[in-house]
Amino acid sequence: MNRNKIVLCLTLIAICLLTFIPTLSEVLHTRQERMWKVATKQILEQAENCYYDGVCKDKEITLQTLQEKGYYDSLIVNPKTKTYFDLSLVIVYEDYHAHFKE
């Protein structure tokens, strides 16, 4: 009887772990992707604001240029690497839309 209880407990723990670990992994991955989208969208929106305000005239600007012109007060954290975005990151504005240079 005692052995059956141990096997039952181990089986229940294994089932819980088999469902909990992949679910937790997916939740964390989805959260990280959402944070990445939010951070990059904020950068691109500020670049577009710089063009709409007439402050940025060049077709290509860097993140450092946006920061120097007052569109960012502090450095922006890259959620994937947990470091700051490189200030030499180039943003291209064309067809009324900003995107990162590839």
Determine the residue type at 48.
E
Does 1 score more than 80 pLDDT?
no
Please report the pLDDT score of residue 41 as a whole number.
Answer: 92
Residue listed under structure tokens 């490189």: 86
Please report the pLDDT score of residue 95 as a whole number.
Answer: 84
Segment 83-98 shows an average pLDDT of 87
> pLDDT tens, 47-86?
999 999 888 888 899 999 888 888 887 888 888 888 888 8
Using 50, 70 and 90 to split pLDDT, how confident is the model at 30?
very high
CA 34, 35, 38, 41 torsion-angle sign: negative
Segment 18-23 shows an average pLDDT of 91
